Amino acid sequence: DAGVIQSPRHEVTEMGQEVTLRCKPISGHNSLFWYRQTMMRGLELLIYFNNNVPIDDSGMPEDRFSAKMPNASFSTLKIQPSEPRDSAVYFCASSLWGADYYSNQPQHFGDGTRLSIL
């Protein structure tokens, strides 16, 4: 079975440019999470969706960051304008969100997008 698929794997761009990261969750999963990983702060949640609806975006750093999930099989994370401090690895994860332990499934991660803003 295909796991979580992220693209691009690497992105290098100049400060001020728009960056769009993409994610395809595991088929059948109804929740999707965007995380950012840095050496200083570890893995931090940015935003998550349930059934394509944003539930918690309290981790989004500022208005330069936006995320969408137009359908169950696709999500984007956009940074506009990008800044050097946005350089990090961005992970997408998906899971099945159920009512109890037996219907809940843990989060499965993609291999991330390594973003460098010059």
3-state secondary structure the chain: CCCCEEECCEEEECCCCCEEEEEECCCCCCEEEEEEEECCCEEEEEEEEECCEEEECCCCCCCCEEEEEEECCEEEEEECCCCHHHCEEEEEEEECCCCCCCCCCCCEECCCEEEEEC
**107 touches other proteins (CB under 8 A):** yes
The interface region with other proteins, picked from 13-21, 61-69, 73-81, 97-105 by CB under 8 A, is 97-105
**90 touches other proteins (CB under 8 A):** no
Q: Where does residue 114 rank: exposed (0-12), middle (13-18), buried (19+ CB within 10 A)?
A: middle
**65 touches other proteins (CB under 8 A):** no
The interface region with other proteins, picked from 16-24, 63-71, 72-80, 98-106 by CB under 8 A, is 98-106
**109 touches other proteins (CB under 8 A):** yes
Under rule CB under 8 A, how many of the chain's residues touch other proteins? 25
**12 touches other proteins (CB under 8 A):** no
**94 touches other proteins (CB under 8 A):** no
Residues at the contact surface with other proteins, assessed by CB under 8 A: 4, 31, 33, 42-43, 45, 48, 50, 55-56, 59, 91, 93, 95, 97, 101, 104, 106-112, 114
